[in-house]
Structure 1
Amino acid sequence: HQLMARHRIGMPNTAFASSPKDTDSLIKLVGTAPLIVKLLESTQGKGVVLAETKKAAQSVIDAFRGLRANFLVQDFVKEAAGEDIRCLVVGNKVVASMKRTGAEGDFRSNLHRGGTAQRVRITRTERETALKAARAFNLNLAGVDLLRSETGPKVLEVNSSPGLEGIETASGKNVAGLLYDEIERRVRPAPVRRRRAGAQAGD
C-alpha cells in the first residue's frame, strides 16, 4: 500500500494499527461504516470481513487482535456492488481481463467462494492503472484486482502469482501461452551484427 501510494495509484482508504488503543482513530482514518477488516495473510477471500457498523468493526478488530493477527481496515466501495475486475499483466501488456461477481449475498467476488467470472472490456484508465500497479512492484506477471468506483479505478490487490485457469476460461485466451511467449522474447539472444565482406578493422 505504501508503494502504491508513492506511485499515486488509486486505492480504497486503508489503515493499519498495532495498538488496541488505536481502534477508534483507526476507524476514523478510513471513514464511516460499512468497513472491510482483512487479515494480511488472507487468500481466496478467507479472513475478509464486512463490518456493517462501527460497533461491528470494533468487535472484529478486537477479535483479530486477540489472535495476534496482522490486519488492515479498508473503506467499503459500495458502488462496486460485489464485483471487481481482474487484469492479467504479462510484460508491458494487459493480456486478459475478467469481471468477477460474488455469489448471492456475498460481497466477496472470489471464484473460490462461489463467485462467477465473465469476459469484460476494460477502459483505457483501468488498463493504465493495472500496468502502473504491476510496474510499482517490478512484476512482469501480475494479477491486478480493481474496483470500479465513482472516482475511478481503485486497486484492491496486486498478486505476484495469479491463477490462470479462471481468467483463461472467462476470457477465452491462452494466457499461459502468452506468458511463455514473453519469457522466450526476454531470453532470446540479441542478433549478432556481421561485418561486411572485405571490411577492414579500421573501417
Structure 2
Amino acid sequence: LKADFLVQEFIKEAGGSDVRCLVIGNKVVAAMQRTAQDGEFRSNLHRGGVAQLTKLTPSERATAVKAAKIMGLNVAGVDLLRSARGPLVMEVNSSPGLEGIENATNKDVAGAIIEFIENNAEPSKTRTRGQG
C-alpha cells in the first residue's frame, strides 16, 4: 500500500470511555469522563459521546500535568485511558475545545485560562501593535 499506519493498543478495561483533563499551568482545573455511544469506539462529544463529571486519582492528575509539561504546553487537554496498569496518555491537545468540559463540570475553564495568562504574562515576552 505504501501508506503510513498508526496503531493504538486496545485497552479493554477502559470500556469505551476516556478522561479529558484540562491542564492549566501545573494544575488540572477540570476533568470529565467521556463515554462512546453504542457501536462507536471514539468517545468524542462531536461523535455522539456523553460527558460526565469525574473525580481524578492523584496518579491521573500527575500524569496529565506531566504530559502537558513534556509537550511544552501551559494549556492542554490531556486524554487519559483508565487501565489496569494505571492512567495511560492517549492524546494531548494543544487547542482543546471548552464547551463540553465546561458543561460537564460547570466550571469557567475559559476564565481560568484568561486568569492564568494575566498572572503569567511578562511584558518582555509580549508585543503590542507597532512594535517590530
Aligned to 1:181: 115
Cα distance in 2 between the residues matched to 1:105 and 1:134: 31
Cα distance in 2 between the residues matched to 1:93 and 1:166: 19
Match for residue 7 of structure 2 among 36, 53, 73: 73
Aligned to 2:58: 124
Cα distance in 2 between the residues matched to 1:187 and 1:141: 14
Computing the radius of gyration from Cα coordinates, the structure with the larger value is 1
Q: What CA RMSD, in Å, does the superposition of the two structures yield over aligned residues?
A: 1.3
SS of corresponding position for 1:95: strand
Aligned to 1:194: none
- What count of residue pairs does the alignment treat as equivalent? 123
Please report how far the alpha carbon of residue 71 of structure 1 lies from its aligned counterpart in structure 2 after TM superposition: 2.9
Cα distance in 2 between the residues matched to 1:122 and 1:113: 24
Match for residue 154 of structure 1 among 88, 93, 102: 88
Cα distance in 2 between the residues matched to 1:139 and 1:188: 17
Match for residue 40 of structure 2 among 106, 114, 139: 106
Cα distance in 2 between the residues matched to 1:74 and 1:80: 13
Aligned to 2:76: 142
SS of corresponding position for 2:72: coil
Unaligned ranges ≥5, structure 2: 124-132
Once the two structures are superposed, what CA deviation does each residue of 1:147-189 show, in whole Å capped at 9, x if it has no partner?
A: 0000100000000000000000001000000000000001267
Once the two structures are superposed, what CA deviation does each residue of 1:121-170 show, in whole Å capped at 9, x if it has no partner?
A: 00000000000000001100000000000010000000000000000000
Cα distance in 2 between the residues matched to 1:73 and 1:188: 41
Aligned to 1:166: 100
Of stretches 121-130 and 100-109 in structure 1, the one that deviates more from structure 2 is: 100-109
TM-score where L is the length of structure 2: 0.89
Q: Kindly indicate whether structure 1 or structure 2 has the higher relative contact order, using CA contacts under 8 Å at least 6 residues apart.
A: 2
Unaligned ranges ≥5, structure 1: 1-61, 190-203
SS of corresponding position for 2:22: strand
Q: How does 1:188-199 map to 2 (within 5 A)?
A: none
Cα distance in 2 between the residues matched to 1:102 and 1:153: 18
Once the two structures are superposed, what CA deviation does each residue of 1:15-54 show, in whole Å capped at 9, x if it has no partner?
A: xxxxxxxxxxxxxxxxxxxxxxxxxxxxxxxxxxxxxxxx
Cα distance in 2 between the residues matched to 1:98 and 1:75: 22
